[in-house]
A and B are shown apart, each in its own frame.
Chain A
Amino acid sequence: MKQPDPAASDADAIAAFGQAFGGAGHAKWLGIRVHARTETWLELAMDWRADLVGDPATGVLSSGPVVSLMDSCAGAVVWLTKNMPAVTIDLRVDYLRPARPGSTIIARCECYRVAREIAFVRGFGYETDPDDPLCQVAGSFMRSERPFK
């Protein structure tokens, strides 16, 4: 397995995200983009939009965009740090508190273990303070048999 390169640049993260999600389609529709990375974790960002709202009375985002952001980040971090194209087996998202209407959401995910063909990912979403997360995520991913090319 390819070891994470501490000197790897954001360009690698953008390339991994692009390879995992084609840089088009749903992630593009949601405006998801690479925000930051280290050798162990990846952050993706998504802006609040009125047409992503789930509850018009509060302006809180629907579950779909939040899960899409977390799933995209979790999948891309497996690719990025483990050099492993993977598909989601399961994903759990706990909503710790409502997202603030108008705020950009940042997802931060880490692949903390690969066992045979299965990668385990944990992460969370926040707005400005990583110590004040709005959701927590846990997922498992299976190595893809289809080459991601």
Chain B
Amino acid sequence: MSAVTLPPYAIALGMRIEPDNGGAPVIGQDFTTDVNGNRGAFHGGVLAGMLEIAALAALTAELESSEGPYRLKPANITVEYLRTAGVLTTYARGEVVRRGRRLAQLRASAWQESPDRPVAVGFINVYLAPPAAQE
């Protein structure tokens, strides 16, 4: 498996990769002033950011290092907001629904108390730029 690293944005906000549980990487983010959207709830954009980072981490973890350094270029993201994400730590985990040669279709879920009660789910389409096509 390829190593998963967090982008500068995630590090600046305080996101972390939770200890390996055997599945796709889980991203964690504590509630802080910097993620507060409105009156003690996560900003929807932070949840979207977590969903995309978790989705890309799931894809990166699945791409074997022998497949070369793909550059992942998200084409779009759709987020459904299901519950208020309050002052608890929020977690997000991604899933590769389908991976073709050029396109990966990803899903991610974010939750607080239990994965069975998601606060948001996201769908992300990612173009896989082959190593030769990198700028």
A contact set with B: CB distance below 8 Å: 20-22, 24-27, 29, 50-58, 61-72, 75, 87-95, 146, 148
Contacts and interface: CB of A to CB of B under 8 A. Distances in A.
Contact of B9 (A24, A52, A146): A52
B46 A68 contact: yes
Contacts of B52: 62-64
Interface string B100-134: 00000000000000000000000000000000000
Interface residues of B, number: 35
Contacts, number: 130
Contacts of A91: 44, 48, 78-79, 81
Contact of B48 (A22, A56, A71, A94): A71
A95 B38 CA distance: 26
Nearest to A136: B76
Given A90-B80, A95-B74, A53 B37 contact: no
Nearest to A53: B8
B51 to A, nearest CB: 9
Contact of B45 (A54, A72, A92): A72
B110 to A, nearest CB: 12
Given A61-B9, A63-B53, A67-B49, 6 more contacts: A21-B43, A26-B37, A62-B52, A64-B13, A71-B43, A71-B48
A77 to B, nearest CB: 15
B29 to A, nearest CB: 10
A89 B80 contact: yes
